[in-house]
């Protein structure tokens, strides 16, 4: 039982199982979870007094001890191509960003999982902001909740990609609970094929994921050898390519999907040569793979340049002729800094990430 000093329980922090456990602990039946989810996500009702199929005593208890609180959108920016970026308040001087990408037959929401990012990938503007904390379940699912309310019935969110700020698998439990909510028939009802998690390669968490949440997997790869990937994606120093590829094959083999999508940012003179393309083919020869080539999106103080269009097309042709389905991602929302790798928000950095990276490198060398 809650004491007067405790904060109200935010019910957006529970997926259906968590909510059922919450009600059972109160002495209620677990089916109350389904009733509450329908009120919140399908009927858009957040006033417990209006939830008429709950008993009066339960409604009173929930009113006194619980809340349904989603994050607040502070700023909305709409790009020339229709892409919409929302800056979302997270308290204590922190803000994250979510992006909606409209297309003819679908609408994709790019969702953040952390305030900032501790992985410090050198080509990513988000990573340069440092890291503050993990987002709660309510703050993750809340991005979808407030985005759909803002868009209204005429523009539905059909796909979610966990590709916003942060490394999702370093916030494992909260991200899994939020994705379960996204796919729940009594909330948003998204297909498993329409929810994608992108990881930089947190191998132990990849190995755990398929057992608890069946979603599509994308891997932020960007290099075909350990030396270059150590530089571009520093977590590779902890989980090198041999381990990453084994985890990818295992994930693909245990799920209904037959492939992993590999994201590969095109950096001029860094990873875009014919040799790099052939090395990528060799690396992925035993992995069920699709490749998404991403033109680099510049940001202030970056030392990288985007590969030229002819170089990107040449790279794609080599991969395609080598038997791997390869696409070139269309840059969306770059005029409002909403493109891949450009999300920055506002982060009170607590990570001391440069020291951590030095320690990681020293540990690897030892």
Q: Which residues are catalytic?
A: 97, 340
Q: Is-contact 230 224, C-beta < 8 A?
A: no
Comparing CA positions, the residue from 127, 202, 211 lying closest to residue 176 is 211
Q: Residue 152: left (phi > 0), alpha (psi -120 to 50), or beta?
A: left
Helix (H) or strand (E) holding 95: strand 94-102
User: How far apart, in whole angstroms, are the C-alpha atoms of residue 188 and residue 111?
Assistant: 15
d(CA 115, CA 348): 9
Burial of 155 (0-12, 13-18, 19+ CB in 10 A): middle
Task: Please give the helix or strand (H or E) that residue 102 lies within, else none.
Answer: strand 94-102
Please state, in angstroms and as integers, the Cα–Cα distance from residue 166 to each residue in 18, 169, 200, 314, 354, following that order: 24, 9, 10, 31, 16
For residues 113 and 104, what is the distance between their CA atoms, to the nearest angstrom? 27
Task: Return the beta strands (E) in 205-335 as ranges.
Answer: 216-220, 260-266, 289-295, 325-328
């Amino acid at each position: 039982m809650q004491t007067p000093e405790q904060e109200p329980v935010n019910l957006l922090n529970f997926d259906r199982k968590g909510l059922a456990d919450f009600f059972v602990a109160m002495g209620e039946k677990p089916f109350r979870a389904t009733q509450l989810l329908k009120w919140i996500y399908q009927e858009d009702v957040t006033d417990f007094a209006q939830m008429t199929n709950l008993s009066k005593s339960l409604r009173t208890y929930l009113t006194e001890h619980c809340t349904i609180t989603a994050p607040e959108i502070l700023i909305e920016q709409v790009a020339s191509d229709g892409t919409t970026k929302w800056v979302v308040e997270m308290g204590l001087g922190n803000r994250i960003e979510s992006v909606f990408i409209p297309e003819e037959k679908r609408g994709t929401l790019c969702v953040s999982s952390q305030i900032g990012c501790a992985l410090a990938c050198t080509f990513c503007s988000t990573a340069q902001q440092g890291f503050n904390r993990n987002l709660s379940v309510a703050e993750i699912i809340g991005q979808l909740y407030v985005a759909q309310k803002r868009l209204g019935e005429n523009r539905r969110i059909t796909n979610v990609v966990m590709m916003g700020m942060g490394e999702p698998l370093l916030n494992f439990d909260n991200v899994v609970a939020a994705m379960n909510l996204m796919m729940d028939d009594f909330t948003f009802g998204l297909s498993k094929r329409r929810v994608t998690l992108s990881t930089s390669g947190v191998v132990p968490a990849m190995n755990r994921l398929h057992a608890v949440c069946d979603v599509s997997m994308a891997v932020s790869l960007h290099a075909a050898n350990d030396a270059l990937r150590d530089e571009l994606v520093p977590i590779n120093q902890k989980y090198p390519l041999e381990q990453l590829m084994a985890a990818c094959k295992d994930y693909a083999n245990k799920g209904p999907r037959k492939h992993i999508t590999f994201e590969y940012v095109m950096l001029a003179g860094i990873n875009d040569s014919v040799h790099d393309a052939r090395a990528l083919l060799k690396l992925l020869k035993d992995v069920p793979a699709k490749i998404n080539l991403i033109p680099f999106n510049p940001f202030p103080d970056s030392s990288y340049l985007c590969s030229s269009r002819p170089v990107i097309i040449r790279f794609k042709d080599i991969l395609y002729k080598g038997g791997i389905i390869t696409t070139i991602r269309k840059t969306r929302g770059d005029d409002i800094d909403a493109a891949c790798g450009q999300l920055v928000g506002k982060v009170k950095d607590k990570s001391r990430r440069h020291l951590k990276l030095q320690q990681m490198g020293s540990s690897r060398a030892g």
